[in-house]
Amino acid sequence: MSLLTAAELRPEIPIGSLSRQQAKQLLAQLAETILHHDRLYHAADDTAQPEISDADYDALIALNLEIETAFPDLVRHDSPSARVGTAGIAVLASSGHFAKITHSQPMLSLGNAFNADDVSDFADRIKRFLSLADDETIVMTAEPKIDGLSLSLRYEGGALQYAATRGNGTEGEDVTQNVKTIADVPHHLGAGLPDVFEVRGEVYMTRTDFTRLNSQQKEKGQKPFANPRNAAAGSLRQKDPAITRQRPLKFFAYARVKLLHQLQPPIQHFWTCCAKGGFR
């Protein structure tokens, strides 16, 4: 399927100068294009291959939002801006393979920054939120972004109660039994943690393990997987946990779910909690 990029879709005239019909047609094209790429990125078929880069995808989202801002009455019911960046998973979540779990707090997608101005804008927003002066220094901790499948783990009384995918951001799939086959995920937490401890993280596959898995696929005469991200997602969503157990999946916890409107402690505190809990 050949679809246009944001640069190709962007009109030569300013967005505000478009006619209503032109804006409506562009929004329809963008909705179709973005949904196509969402389905590839979040495909249940772990051999599917994304066709564009993250930056190109974000450019499509930005163009869609720019048109909607100029023509708010033309926002479509299936607008990409109304989704949490997980349309493909939302579609897959209707497959009926797994029970549904409502998240204690919405699982939102991360924002992106592709240049120094984006990072500066992010820092400025933090200062405004904390009511800090423009010249006040803030300390940040940067971590690598692991490209896998977002997961929420909830522990009560130290025992794993459930593991849920992000789904549509509000409701995800119950993949608890499959997640229990991942060595990085403790079934019971160590002492010294709150009675209710919920973490968000990423299920992923390293490139080395991905290459080894694809070699095994070829030896068996089976189709190789498209990329580590899709291989991890497809492996986690198997109907049979025994298949998931055979896949080299790992889990990386990056945040704890706290009460709404409560500031998170420094990330070092979270790392200490994870070490106490038994996360690798």
Say which of 145, 218, 223, 239 is annotated catalytic: 145
Q: Which two three-digit tokens encode residue 92?
A: 């897959």
Verify whether residue 180 is a known catalytic residue: no
**Rounded (10°) angle between helices 20-41 and 54-70:** 150
Catalytic residues: 145
